[in-house]
């Protein structure tokens, strides 16, 4: 990948060194471009492609598809927040929640997810 992370490729914008990447499905956060690259390095068979990239001022929204090497396609949405032309915060959305794999636990921290926050708890969902 010539020193570029997959995330920078997806977003089409360079990452700030102190970028944070949030995964609300697992309640995880990865802090820093180096750890993001380290996590990505554990997925050697990954293939992916951008379907649509929408630059919206200080935001970039990307719809994309990934295959982890098993033939299953995951459709995803990633939101990048920009400051001074670099990505400082990223939130990825895909599929159902799952537990953090043991190998990744030393590289991530728990994402603060209060029940009344951006990702409400089950009991705060309603029929609309």
CATH 3.40.50.970 fits 6-120, yes or no: no
Asked whether 65 and 49 are in contact (CB, 8 A), the reply is yes
Neighbouring-strand partners of residue 61: 54, 79
Asked whether 40 and 5 are in contact (CB, 8 A), the reply is yes
User: What angle is formed at CA 114 by the lines to CA 123 and CA 31, rounded to 5 degrees?
Assistant: 135
Query: Model pTM?
Result: 0.83
Question: 125-128 long-range contacts, Cβ below 8 Å, gap at least 24?
Answer: none
State the Cα–Cα distance between residues 65 and 79, nearest whole angstrom: 14
pLDDT tens for the chain, residues 1 to 128: 445 799 999 999 999 999 999 999 888 999 999 999 999 988 888 888 998 999 999 999 999 988 888 888 788 999 999 999 999 999 999 876 678 899 999 999 988 878 887 777 777 767 65
């Amino acid at each position: 990948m010539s020193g570029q992370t997959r995330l920078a490729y997806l977003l089409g914008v360079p990452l700030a060194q102190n970028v944070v990447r949030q995964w609300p499905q697992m309640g995880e956060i990865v802090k820093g471009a180096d750890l993001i690259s380290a996590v990505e390095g554990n997925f050697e068979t990954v293939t992916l492609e951008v379907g649509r990239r929408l630059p919206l001022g200080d935001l970039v929204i990307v719809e994309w598809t990934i295959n982890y090497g098993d033939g299953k396609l995951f459709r995803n949405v990633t939101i990048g927040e920009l400051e001074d032309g670099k990505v400082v915060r990223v939130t990825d959305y895909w599929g159902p929640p799952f537990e953090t794999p043991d190998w990744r636990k030393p590289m991530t921290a728990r994402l603060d997810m209060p029940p009344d926050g951006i990702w409400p708890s089950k009991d705060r969902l309603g029929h609309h």
